[in-house]
Amino acid sequence: MITVAIAEDHQALVDGIKSYVKYEDDISIIGHAGNGEELLKLVRLKQPKVVLCDIRMPKLDGIEATRVILKELPHTKVVAFTMFDQDAAVKQMLAAGAQGYILKNSSLAVVLEAIRTVYDGRTYYDKKIHLLNAEKNSTKSVLSSREREILQLIAKGRTSHQIADELFIGKSTVDTHRKNMIRKLGLSGAGELLRYAVEKKYDF
């Protein structure tokens, strides 16, 4: 069962999603929050597998809430759920670790598709968001400076141990950065990350 939490302050929209989802055998809405602080409490208590997260929320916005959720519960999948189709908002949510981004005026079928897609470990971007269709693998817009540094070393054929030694950090830290890059870039594993690094080695 894919358990889902919703961060959204428009009750009518939440009710619409709940009404639609109740006929689905594999998805269950376990709670909703009206602001970022309520969302963190809900996620910590019930640990949903997927979070639909509004960006503009009182007390704590969706970008910071996503960072906190993925730091504390890194296996959680977050889908940005918003009225905003703005470059900065998209990039900030991706940088925070969101695996998907859909607009609130999308059909409920799209909402379900996004939930199932990110739960399966893939990324999902609303087709209405032109920025992501063109730039979803843009290294500079998605990765941190440290991740780009590690990606350059991966492109040079360095192992995690070698990267750790060269950057004076732990191997586990390098491995965490690898996993984060795979997620942010929508890749399927270490092999794809290496291939991506080699292809992009002069574009960091």
> pLDDT tens across 1-58, in order?
999 999 988 888 888 898 889 889 999 999 999 999 999 999 999 999 999 999 888 8
Q: Enumerate the β-bridge partners of residue 5.
A: 31, 51
Q: Round to the nearest angstrom and report the end-to-end CA distance of the chain.
A: 39
pTM beyond cutoff 0.75? no
User: Mean pLDDT across the chain, nearest whole number?
Assistant: 85
Give yes or no for residue 137 having a pLDDT over 60.
no
Place of tokens 């199932």: 116
Tell me which of 75 and 184 has the higher pLDDT. 75
Q: Residue 141: pLDDT band by 50, 70, 90 thresholds?
A: low
What are 93's two structure tokens?
């949510």
In tens, the pLDDT along 93-126 reads 888 899 988 888 888 889 999 999 999 988 888 8
- Strand bridging mode 50-53 / 100-103: unpaired
Give yes or no for residue 136 having a pLDDT over 70.
no
Write phi, then psi, for 140 (nearest 5 degrees): -65, -30
DSSP per position, 50-81: EEEE-SS-SSS-HHHHHHHHHHH-TT-EEEEE
pLDDT at 2: 96
Percent of residues, the chain, with pLDDT higher than 90 = 45
Distance, CA of 116 to chain centre: 14
In tens, the pLDDT along 62-88 reads 999 999 999 999 999 999 987 765 667
Distance (Å, whole) CA 79 – CA 115: 8
pLDDT at 133: 46
Instruction: Answer yes or no: are the C-beta atoms of 39 and 53 closer than 8 Å.
Output: yes
pLDDT at 134: 42
What are 79's two structure tokens?
């889908």
Instruction: Answer yes or no: are the C-beta atoms of 145 and 129 closer than 8 Å.
Output: no
Q: Residue 186: pLDDT band by 50, 70, 90 thresholds?
A: confident
Nearest to 3 by CA among 27, 20, 25: 27
